[in-house]
Amino acid sequence: MTELIPFAYGDRPIRTVVIDGEPWFVAADVCAVLGIINGRDALSSLDDDERGVATTDTPGGPQQVSIVNESGLYSLILRSRKPEARAFKRWITREVIPSIRRTGSYAAAGYAIPQDYPSALELAAKVVRELEASEQARRELEPAAHSWATLADAGGDYSFRQVAQILDRDPAISTGQNRLAAYLREVGWLDSGGEPYQRHVDTGRLVRRATNGYEHPDRGHVAPWQVRITTKGLHELHRLMGGSGPLLLAAQPERSAS
């Protein structure tokens, strides 16, 4: 059985579980806040490693609930059109996730009142250690949370040139526009002709953006659309290519034409 950790976003419950030290969120609670009516369709569009099922004990017996991890949560947030989606994202990144990773719950851990002087000294030492660990965790998590906050705020999509420039700012990554395109073919996001595989479009990593088309001196007429990389795709490429720090955005993404 998995213990659910309850949170409250306003008057709405947001239940979480911790699996292998990482927070997961009950999908039904997240969809309710974001105004996502068809939660099943929304979950089916996530990658397999972004969604799962947890079994928890309830008064009526064991119950299975659908859950999403941090990456899946941000994918759902980016799909929401509700104005409060941005505020919800800020609450998750600045309060919930750091709190879970520090203490395993939203509230500070409670302590039994010591009954003697040695126990009081032991408790004081424990509190100091935990405070130091919490501060260290906050410093380690802050860049990642800021990176996600910046990315989640920025809708739209990026050209290969923009993505290569952004990724190349990370000391652990060296790439350019052509090398990035070759990498996308290598990892199976694009086929040999440079067209995106549909599953990566469906999961929100890539988009086709309409253009006017043009005549290339060697290739003739170029199709009136361009493959572009979404915010989600940029973040996943940063992870896949071994990024070592927060993403430093070189340019704001352009909004896709409707």
Query: How is 22-78 classified by DSSP, letter by letter?
Result: EEEEEHHHHHHHHT-S-HHHHHHTS-GGGEEEEEEEETTEEEEEEEEEHHHHHHHHH
Q: Are residues 169 and 221 in the same domain?
A: yes
Structural domain that includes position 213: 157-240
Report how many helices (DSSP H) and strands (DSSP E) the chain contains, helices first.
10, 10
Q: Clarify whether residues 131 and 27 are in a common domain.
A: yes
**Residue 125 maps to a domain:** yes
Write b or e for each residue in 162-185: b if 16 or more Cβ atoms lie within 10 A of its Cβ, otherwise e.
Answer: bbbbbbbebeebebeeeebbebbe
Whether residue 251 is contained in a domain is answered as no
Q: Quick one: 191 and 220 in the same domain?
A: yes
Q: Alpha carbon 83 to chain centroid distance? A: 19
Same domain, yes or no: 166 and 132: no
Residues 32 and 138 in one domain: yes
Residue at 132 is within a domain: yes
One domain, residues 28 and 140: yes
Are residues 139 and 89 part of one domain?
yes
- The predicted pLDDT at position 112 comes to 46
Residue where the block lists tokens 């990482």? 22
Q: What is the mean pLDDT of each run of 10 residues along the chain (258 residues)?
A: 74 84 87 87 89 79 86 86 83 80 50 51 63 60 48 64 86 88 90 89 86 54 74 86 68 50
Same domain, 101 and 52: yes
**30 and 81 co-located in one domain:** yes
Q: Is position 167 within any domain?
A: yes
**Structural domains counted in the chain:** 2
Inside any domain, residue 253? no
In a domain, 103, yes or no: yes
pTM to 2 decimals? 0.41
Q: Considering the domain boundaries, does residue 113 fall inside one?
A: no
Decide the pairing of beta strands 61-69 and 51-58.
antiparallel
Tokens 């290519």 belong to residue = 241
Q: What's the confidence (pLDDT) of residue 66?
A: 92
Do 147 and 47 share a structural domain?
A: yes
Residues 148 and 173 both lie in one domain: no
Instruction: Measure Cα distances from 226 to 160, 200, 208, 246 in Å.
Output: 10, 15, 5, 27
Residues 38 and 81 in one domain: yes
Let me know if residue 250 belongs to a domain: no
Sign of the CA dihedral with 236 first, then 207, 183, and 171 last: negative
252: enclosing H helix or E strand = none
